[in-house]
């Protein structure tokens, strides 16, 4: 497969930084919210280490931090699959090889509590972006290596976690069968869809993971995803943005840091292959 790497000093059009500025980083942590990039880099980075701002361009806000003395990129992706795929294309050209999505999610199964974390090993493809990279018959699956690292890290830090499949929708309201939108209208195709996903064992709804997994596979990258539960759909459609959200963020940070440290022990990561 052809690899179209960027020149070291080429400033990539969308993310706004060059490969040289990554200082050899091959692991990227990807929050959706641009406002979370800086605090996430500070939380993940080594104690007393420098956190360096790279760029702010469109939905892509990026910082460089050190985890275990190794440079790691933190770059926001914005919301939805198209911006995720654009980000991955340019990160691949810059030499990034491992990706960890950090986001929020709504649980649809009993036994999953607000503030828990969900590690998705695969995703139902309710998005459109992935179809530009692979036919619908192609599965949206995580890298086993990255997923295993996330699970080991969650266990090590005592985070309450669940591993399973997400339903990854391009929309926040109809695609997730939410009725609290402006009109309350949900297309017939999506009515009672949540019950179907529950019956099939799907754990959660979110908006980026399917695009991440399919695009990463198409580009030859390894990706994983960990989301904090900020809504429990069995009890309502509202999102909890208070103490529960902060708990989820803290558990994610501990899990992601541990996973990155584990990935750094892999020779291919250290060699940037």
C-alpha–C-alpha distance, residues 261 and 106, integer Å: 28
Tokens representing residue 117 in the block: 């974390």
- For the chain, domain boundaries: 19-267
Determine whether 196 is an active site residue. Answer: no
DSSP 4-36: -PPPTT---TTT---GGGGTT--EEEEES-GGG
- Summarised one tens digit per residue, pLDDT across range 90-142 is 999 999 999 999 999 999 999 999 999 999 999 999 999 999 999 999 999 99
- Summarised one tens digit per residue, pLDDT across range 144-177 is 999 999 999 999 999 999 999 999 999 999 999 9
Q: What is the DSSP letter of 130?
A: G
- Report the 3 state secondary structure along 219-241: HCCEEEEEEEEEEECCCCCCCCC
- Residue 35 sits at the vertex; the CA angle it makes with 34 and 39, to the nearest 5 degrees, is 115
**Taking a C-beta distance cutoff of 8 angstroms, is the pair 149, 68 a contact?**
no
- Is residue 272 over pLDDT 80? no
Percent of the chain with pLDDT over 90: 89
Residue 244 has a pLDDT of 83
Residue 237 has a pLDDT of 82
Provide Rg for the chain, Cα atoms. Answer: 18
Please choose, from the candidates 260, 228, 262, the residue with its C-alpha nearest in 3D space to the C-alpha of residue 27. 260
- Summarised one tens digit per residue, pLDDT across range 192-230 is 999 999 999 999 999 999 999 999 999 999 999 999 999
Tokens representing residue 259 in the block: 């996973």
Residue 245 has a pLDDT of 83
Determine whether 14 is an active site residue. Answer: yes
Considering the candidates 21, 38, 59, 90, report the single residue annotated as catalytic.
90
Percent of the chain with pLDDT over 70: 97
Please choose, from the candidates 216, 134, 132, 118, the residue with its C-alpha nearest in 3D space to the C-alpha of residue 167. 118
Residues counted in the chain:
273
Considering the candidates 125, 162, 233, 257, report the single residue annotated as catalytic.
233
- Is residue 271 over pLDDT 70? no
Q: Mean pLDDT check: name the lowest of 17-21, 38-42, 245-249.
A: 245-249
CATH architecture, domain defined by 19-267: 3-Layer(aba) Sandwich (3.40)
Residue 273 has a pLDDT of 44
Please choose, from the candidates 30, 29, 13, 11, the residue with its C-alpha nearest in 3D space to the C-alpha of residue 21. 11
Tokens representing residue 110 in the block: 């009993």
Determine whether 253 is an active site residue. Answer: no
Kindly report the average pLDDT of the chain as a whole number: 95
């Amino acid at each position: 497969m052809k690899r179209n790497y960027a020149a070291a000093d080429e400033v990539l059009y969308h993310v706004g930084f060059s490969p040289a500025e990554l200082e050899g980083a091959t692991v990227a942590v990807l929050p959706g919210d641009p406002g979370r990039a800086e605090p996430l880099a500070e939380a993940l980075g080594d104690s007393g280490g420098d956190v360096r701002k790279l760029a702010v361009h469109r939905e892509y806000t990026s910082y460089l931090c050190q985890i275990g003395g190794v440079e790691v990129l933190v770059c926001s992706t914005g919301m939805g699959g198209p911006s995720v795929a654009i980000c991955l294309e340019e990160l691949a050209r810059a030499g990034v090889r491992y990706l960890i999505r950090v986001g929020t999610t709504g649980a649809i199964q009993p036994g999953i509590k607000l503030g828990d974390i969900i590690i998705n090993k695969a995703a139902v493809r309710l998005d459109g972006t992935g179809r530009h990279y692979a036919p619908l018959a192609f599965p949206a699956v995580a890298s086993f290596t990255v997923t295993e690292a996330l699970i080991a890290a969650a266990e090590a830090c005592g985070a309450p976690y669940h591993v399973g499949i997400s339903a990854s929708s391009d929309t926040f309201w109809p695609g997730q069968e939410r009725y609290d939108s402006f009109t309350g209208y949900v297309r017939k195709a999506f009515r009672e869809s949540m019950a179907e996903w529950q019956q099939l064992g799907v754990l959660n709804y979110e908006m980026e993971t399917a695009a991440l997994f399919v695009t990463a596979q198409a580009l030859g990258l390894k990706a994983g995803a960990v989301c904090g539960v900020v809504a429990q759909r069995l009890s309502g459609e509202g999102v909890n943005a208070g103490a529960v959200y902060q708990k989820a963020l803290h558990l994610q940070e501990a899990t992601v840091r541990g996973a990155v440290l584990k990935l750094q022990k892999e020779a291919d990561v250290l060699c940037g292959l």
